[in-house]
Amino acid sequence: MKKHYDVIIVGGGVIGSSIAFHLSKRNYRVLVVEKGALAQKASRAAAGMLGAQNEIGEDSPLLSFARKSRAMFPALAEELQFLSNINIELIQSGIIKVAQSEEEVAHLRAIAAFQEKIGEKVEWLTTKQVKEKEPELSEAVQGGLYMPNDGQVSAPLLSKALAQSAAALGTDFLEYTEVQELIQDNNRISGVRTGTDSFFASNVIVAGGAWSKDIINKTGISLETYPVKGECFSVQTHERMITSSIFSSGGYIVPKSGGRLIIGATEKPHTFDESVQLDGLYQLMAQALNIIPALKNAKWEKAWAGIRPQTGDGLPYLGEHPHVKGLFVATGHYRNGILLAPVTGLLMADMIDGKAVHHPFSINRTPYIKEVNR
């Protein structure tokens, strides 16, 4: 295996694979080092919603970033299909954010007004209109915000397609290999050291999701990130119950092919425990049955959990280390890693190219970064 590359990426999830894909398209020699298997952890666990309008508040700097990323998916799906022969199952049938109280009705109507103002397609549906569009929804739904441009993909297939497409373009992947140390020379990155070998590059990107902090802490700074466990489960139905993804204050229900539904997700911060607990499943089941009573007849499939990387201010860290030249970070996407993967890959590739990139996600922002003793 080669020892010298242009860029080494630490982490082979959807973010790391997207960065590798975009860099390989620009003819960089890239190595991705993943401590487990590719396209696992949070990348495998996600339901795959592309909720640029649904997930991100009107006051968030992420909104324009997310809208740009969502717009990349149709062309990306075709490109990945060509390179990897994988269909990422892009479905643009919209998301309905339902209201279950008068307060939620007022809140969602205000969101609708804002989104119309910025030019997004959005429609407020009355209780009757919601039932006409999705007949299986219960009377507990008092209306809904329909966002036709928000959609979904298969998260595992997207992650796999990005990795395989990057490989087809020349990226090398090293699985089941943990980076033990970042190699530096006079505050300049020069490579990484694993348990058995060393690899060298003038640029290293840490994209290890919730595990990125462990590596970055060894470089003299500490990013304000923490893990959040999200539990989900899936069921099978004989007939397709819903066509749009349904999002509520208590979770989501996402229709997949073959009558499969993914229901999630809990939010349990400050744990790397990937076990699934009954209290979380009970809450998800109760909320799902309240919205779609016919789910009581669905057949159980499986349950799982993923560990998502959250930050102190809810924004990802994307940029170069303040003290180590050539060391970059791309982490903290929390619940939007699938949605933001395309634009993150593009942005990080632009940074490696040396282009002037302006965004509010610098890792040098305060107070969410602090010096630590090495």
Q: What is the pLDDT of residues 40-55, one digit of tens each?
A: 888 889 999 999 999 8
The domains found in the chain, sorted by start residue, are 4-77+155-224+312-371 (3.50.50.60), 92-150+226-311 (3.30.9.10)
Lowest mean pLDDT among 149-158, 288-297, 363-372: 363-372
Return the pLDDT at 305: 96
Contact 289, 283 (CB under 8 A): no
pLDDT of residue 101: 95
Residue 239 predicted with pLDDT over 90: no
How do residues 179-191 score in pLDDT, each as one tens digit?
A: 999 999 999 999 9
Residue 297 pLDDT > 70:
yes
Peptide bond just before 227 cis, omega within 30 deg = no
What's the token pair of residue 182?
A: 């970042």
Per-residue pLDDT at 56 exceeds 90: no
Number of other CB atoms surrounding residue 186 within 10 Å: 7
* pLDDT higher than threshold 80 for residue 369: no
Q: In the structure, what pLDDT confidence band is assigned to residue 265 with cuts at 50, 70 and 90?
A: very high
Q: Where are the alpha helices (DSSP H) in 118-223?
A: 127-133, 155-168, 212-216
> Given phi > 0 = left and psi -120 to 50 = alpha, else beta, which region is 323?
alpha
Q: Is 48 exposed, middle or buried (0-12, 13-18, 19+ CB in 10 A)?
A: buried
Supply the mean pLDDT for the chain: 94
* pLDDT score, position 2: 87
Complete DSSP assignment for 203-261: EEEE--GGGHHHHHGGGTEEE-EEEEEEEEEEEE-SS---SSEEEETTEEEEE-GGGEE
Query: pLDDT confidence of 370, banded at 50, 70, 90?
Result: low
For residue 367, the surrounding DSSP H or E stretch is none
φ, ψ (nearest 5 deg) of residue 349: -65, -40
φ and ψ at 239, to 5 degrees? -125, 155
366 pLDDT band, cuts 50/70/90, is: low
